[in-house]
Amino acid sequence: MLSGNLLYAQESNCKVLLPRLSGTYDGGAKMDLLMATTCQGIDRYEVNSGRVYRKSGVYRWADGTFYDGSWKKGLREGYGRMIYSSDSTVTGYWKADKYTGSRRPEI
């Protein structure tokens, strides 16, 4: 599964640090942070909307599983849905890349 800082760049050469996404990259860079709209390697990440470190996007694993929802610093955070290659779906809220349930967490 995805973990770590998906879109953070390293020094000024701005690379995708997640090996499963390193390959083609569509987007720019600002202050050593990648501003991707798409990253493609073994897996694929597509941005729906948002800023560099807090976005809405789709991460597709090579096995067909995908997560469509909110991200924060490269981790699933907020509302989203995970659709597994076995056709099962989990919809609800995520915190620090962990599913917390179908009800919105209280603040």
What are the pLDDT digits (tens) for 5-54?
444 444 345 566 677 777 776 666 655 455 556 777 788 777 765 544 45
HSE at residue 42, side-chain half, CA atoms within 13 A, is 9
Q: From CA 107, how far away is CA 104, in angstroms rounded?
A: 9
> What pLDDT shows up at residue 53?
47
In the chain, which residue ranges form alpha helices assigned H by DSSP? none
Q: Where are the domains of the chain?
A: 19-101
- The count of other CB atoms within 10 Å of the CB of residue 59 is 25
| Summary mean pLDDT of the chain | 75
